[in-house]
Amino acid sequence: MTTIPYCLIKPDVADALRTLVDALKLKVPGGDLGFLCPACEEPVQPYGGTHFQHLKENPKCRLTPK
């Protein structure tokens, strides 16, 4: 069986998941839901339901705003 290490998720769905986790006060290891940038695989967080924001600046990533 093939293992898929991660998949793409729409920002509004990720934002809804973050809201649900916060509202239910669920414990998430390290507070990280595991969202990764598809370009560089660095951690990202949903930001306002419209896009993801790198948790730390990553100038090498082609998706990091200049």
Q: What phi and psi, each to the nearest 5 degrees, are found at residue 28?
A: -120, 130
The pLDDT, as a whole number, for residue 24 is: 95
Q: Say how many CA atoms lie within 13 Å of 27 toward its Cβ.
A: 1
The pLDDT, as a whole number, for residue 1 is: 64
Range of the domain at 45: 1-66
The pLDDT, as a whole number, for residue 25 is: 92
Domain count, the chain: 1
Contact predicate 23/55, CB 8 Å: no
Return the structure tokens found at 25: 């006060």
The pLDDT, as a whole number, for residue 12 is: 85
3-state secondary structure of 36: strand
Alpha helices in 1-66 (DSSP H): 11-23
The pLDDT, as a whole number, for residue 20 is: 92
Digit-coded pLDDT (tens) for 1-56: 666 677 788 888 888 998 999 999 998 887 778 888 888 888 888 777 677 888 77
